[in-house]
Amino acid sequence: MLNLARSAMAAAALTAALTLLVPVAADRIAFLAGVDDSSASRQQASVIDAEVLDSHCSGLVPDASVAEAPASVWDDGNVRGTTSADLAGFAARFNEIRATHCLEPIPAANFVFDSCLQERLRWMAEDPSEDPGSAWGHDGAVRSDGLPSTGCDGNLAGGAGNTGATVAQKWWESPHHRASLYRPAETVSLDDVCIAFAMVHGGLPDEPLAFTRASARWTDC
């Protein structure tokens, strides 16, 4: 009981302090998502964020169906992988946000589960430390037991009670993540654009399944 209480308190404190929202470092954005992180780009993202358009966007409605995810289970059920509901919730909210801002939706079939992103999240979740923030971060993050990182880096978000829909909202609200993941100024055809996503539930030693870590990236299909 003491360990459970301590873990819950630590998770709550971390969520309140950080909301587990870590922007992709400036020197990583170009590598991960091909984003211009110049001052002009950041200023443009802020302008677009302020222009929440209120008309003539109703036709931007995507198909509802998305790909499935395997819902993997590890560590006797204490750590669980991305579910189809996670991916569907993320995709729906992602495109709702784009439509609200008069941005063309991503084709539903182009939201994909990414096993490499999930492997990095699993590496974080299986850190034996009682600190939920241990191992959290981008390339170069260190686990308490020294196990080298595995998997792929991406835009990160999560915390207690988060879902695919809530992390989609968090990423839009962060200018750096918006530029990296939503790309509001992008002019290429979206037919060949995929949004890769993964989410891991729970963690060691005793994090609740409601505590999630998520990662996503804009990539070629």
Question: Domain total for the chain?
Answer: 1
> E strand or H helix at 208, and its extent?
strand 207-220
Residue-wise pLDDT tens digits, 132-190: 999 999 999 999 999 999 999 999 998 999 999 999 999 999 999 999 999 999 999 99
> 200: which strand partners?
213
Write the pLDDT tens digit of every residue in 33-74.
Answer: 322 333 333 333 333 443 434 344 655 555 557 789 999 999
Task: Give residue 195's domain range.
Answer: 2-220
- The three-point CA angle 160-105-95 to 5° equals 20
Look up residue 98 and give its two tokens.
């784009």
In this structure, the strands spanning 207-220 and 155-160 are antiparallel
> In what helix (H) or strand (E) does residue 9 lie, and over which residues does it extend?
helix 2-18
pTM (2 decimals)?
0.76
